[in-house]
Homo-oligomer: A and B are copies of this chain.
Amino acid sequence: MITLTSDFGSIYPAAMRGVILRQTDARLVDVTHDLPRGDVRAASFWLRFVLPEFPPAVHLVVVDPGVGTDRRAIVVRAGDHALVGPDNGSLLPPARALSDGEIEAFEIDVADPDSQTFHGRDVFAPYAAAVHEVGVESIDDVATLAPIDDPIDVRLPDPTVSAEGRLIDAEVLVVDRFGNVITNVPGETLGEATRVRIDGERVPVAETFGAVDRGEKLLTVGSHGYVELDVNDGRGDEAFDLAAGDVVRIRIGAE
């Protein structure tokens, strides 16, 4: 099985599918091709969330703002999984989530690709197919892959917690298509709180959207385990006026 992820939208991913299918009859499964353009952090967040749902697979991941520059191209082995893509940090957070800790990285010997603007087609897709064919356990056998010990990592920022755990300075990691504002605050940080103040305004803590009236704000722990700022049947990003990268102060206990 090979999964495909990119920020390419439509059409360009088909070129990668074609290239892979010339090399292998593996099952292809799209993760998404609608990641925010060139946003390595968003890629790493979403892939850390989604890829662990999959059985062992080769994951082709191309969010590549540095395509054609001297950034490296890599394969990462994480347990029974492998990830193939640019060495810009997007691969390591999901790799950690896919393994019990041990991660190995290999640099791809990029000889002379057909283009300097579409390595998804010309470098990464062929390697994803090749790794699938040789098998994740045998990556070391691919002559054009050289072990490296310094793949670039991206660490998602931790929130700042103070006032005995009651004051959290959070950062917005991503906003999803529903407008849900996903922060970097792990759900367990909330404890048993039933209300919070968001930048001063009282907001209920709820298990799900339908627990508040339509159009009402809520704070919930999303399916990824992080605190979200949402609106039932509405857009949290607009209601809270927040976007990816913004900082927001959450005060636990709203008395």
A interface list, Cβ under 8 A from B? 1, 3, 8-12, 14-15, 17-19, 21-22, 25, 27-35, 37-38, 46, 49-55, 65-69, 114-118, 121-122, 176-178, 207-211, 220, 222-223, 233
Contacts and interface: CB of A to CB of B under 8 A. Distances in A.
23 contacts: A9-B176, A9-B177, A10-B34, A10-B177, A14-B31, A14-B32, A14-B50, A15-B49, A15-B50, A15-B223, A18-B29, A18-B54, A19-B53, A21-B54, A22-B53, A22-B55, A38-B233, A65-B209, A66-B210, A69-B210, A115-B222, A117-B220, A117-B223
Contact of A11 (B32, B55, B67): B32
A122 B223 CA distance: 9
Contacts of A34: 9-11
A144 B95 CA distance: 35
Contact of A29 (B28, B50, B66, B210): B28
B14 A68 contact: no
A10 B29 contact: no
A209 B32 CA distance: 23
A46 B11 contact: yes
Contacts of A25: 27
Contact of A21 (B14, B29, B50): B29
Contact of A210 (B35, B67, B207, B211): B67
Given A14-B32, A32-B14, A46-B11, A208 B67 contact: yes
Nearest to A66: B210
Contact of A65 (B18, B29, B210): B210
Nearest to A225: B115
Contact of A14 (B12, B30, B69): B30
A212 B33 CA distance: 25
A214 to B, nearest CB: 9
